[in-house]
Amino acid sequence: MSNYIIPLMILGVVLYGFHKKIDIYDSFIDGVCESFKMIYTIFPNLIAMILSVNILIESGFLNWIIGFLGNIIQIPIEVLSLAIMRPISGNATLALLNNIYQKFGVDHYISLLASTIQGSTDTTFYVLALYYGSIGIKKTRYAFATSLFADAVGIITSFIICKILFFN
């Protein structure tokens, strides 16, 4: 179904523009030109963010925290890793999800729980760094607090809803 959405959307936009007799081609070119300005502000933020996230992940600090928490909270270590990595790194969580599917099988309860967590939240740090970085804002006030709180609620709800729907 999602194969249809993008082509149909573009068809709609182009036909509507043609109908309104605007200069469609120039509009498109102008829009594309804008992307260069955008990239100019995005790229430095990407380097900065990826550098700090990679250093944190590869240092093993998060795994150490996860191992520590795993002793206290009685949930599978794989799911715990996923939940903690989810807001920080999209690539790391996709790798973790692949491992979980391989280890338990894609239709196992743990895989379903992991899929639910993965599908229910976004890579918060990436989005915030990108969005605020693109307009040169560093003073983000309570933006991280609200987003991380929402992530936590999403992850906890995933546990509850999967217990109800899939656990037998």
Partner 1 sequence: MVNKIWTFFIAIGIIFSLLSGNISTINNVILESAKSSLELMMQIFPVIALWLGITNIATNSGLLDILSLKLSIILGKLFPEVPKNHISLSYMASNMIANIFGLGSAATPFGLKAMSSLQELNENKKVASRSMITFTTINTSGLTVIPTTIIALRLLYGSTSPTITVLSSFIATLASTLAGIIIDRILARRYTNV
Footprint (CB under 8 A) of partner 1, residues 51-110 = 51-61, 64, 87, 94, 97-98, 101-102, 106-107
Q: Which of 7, 31, 72, 74 binds partner 1 (CB under 8 A)?
A: 31
Nearest Cα to Cα of residue 122 among 151, 92, 82: 151
Q: Report the nearest approach of partner 1 to the CB of residue 25 (Å).
A: 9
Residue 42 contacts by C-beta under 8 Å, 6 or more apart in sequence? 130, 133, 134
Q: Report the nearest approach of partner 1 to the CB of residue 37 (Å).
A: 9
Per CB under 8 A, contacts with partner 1 among 9-28 are: 9-10, 13-14, 16-17, 19-20, 22-24, 27-28
Per CB under 8 A, contacts with partner 1 among 99-158 are: 101-102, 106-107, 112, 115-125, 127-147, 149-151, 153-155, 157-158
Q: Report the nearest approach of partner 1 to the CB of residue 166 (Å).
A: 7
The upper half-sphere exposure of residue 167, i.e. CA atoms within 13 Å in the direction of its Cβ, equals: 9
Q: Report the nearest approach of partner 1 to the CB of residue 74 (Å).
A: 20
Distances (CA, A) of 121 to 50, 107, 125, 152, 157: 19, 20, 12, 9, 11
Judged by CB, which is closer to partner 1: 73, or 135? 135
Size of the site for partner 1 (CB under 8 A): 97
Distances (CA, A) of 124 to 49, 61, 87, 129, 143: 12, 19, 5, 8, 10
Q: What is the largest distance, in Å, between two alpha-carbon atoms of the chain?
A: 66
